[in-house]
Amino acid sequence: MNKCVKITFPNEVPANFLRDIIQKHAQKCDIEGIAQVVVQDKRVKIIACGQKCNVDDFVDQLHKKFSEHAIQDVEIEPFSRDKDYRNVFRIIE
C-alpha cells in the first residue's frame, strides 16, 4: 500500500541539511518526492511518497534528526499525490 505525507518545518537548518540528511534518508528508504525551501513562508516543505512502511521509517528517521538539531514546529500530514515523481527524491533550491 502506498502512502504520501507532507512535512513542513522552519527553515532554520544547518547548511546542506536537505542534501546530506533528508535526501540521503529518502534514498535509503526508497522514497520519491521533493524537498524545497519555501522562501516566502521561511519553511521547508517535503513531499514523501512510497510504500507505507518505507514512509513510516523515513518519518521516524527524520524525527531523530529533528531532535538532534533542535528543530521544532514540525508538521506532518497526509497528502494526496498530485504528480508523478518518477521514483526520484529531488531537492529543489
Where in the chain are the domains? Answer: 2-92
Average pLDDT, rounded, for the chain: 94
- Residue 67's CB is within 10 A of a number of other CB atoms, namely 11
Q: What does the block give as the cell for 75?
A: 508538521
- Predicted TM-score (pTM) of this structure: 0.92
Cβ-based burial of 77 (10 A; exposed 0-12, middle 13-18, buried ≥19): exposed
**Could you say which of 3.40.50.800, 3.30.9.10, 3.40.47.10, 3.30.70.100 is the CATH number of the domain covering 2-92?**
3.30.70.100
Cβ-based burial of 57 (10 A; exposed 0-12, middle 13-18, buried ≥19): middle
| The predicted structure's pLDDT at residue 2 | 92
Low-confidence ranges of the chain (pLDDT < 70): none
Residue 86: closest CA among 32, 50, 19: 32
| The predicted structure's pLDDT at residue 53 | 97
Percent share of the chain, pLDDT over 90: 86
How far does the chain reach from its first CA to its final CA, in angstroms?
Answer: 30
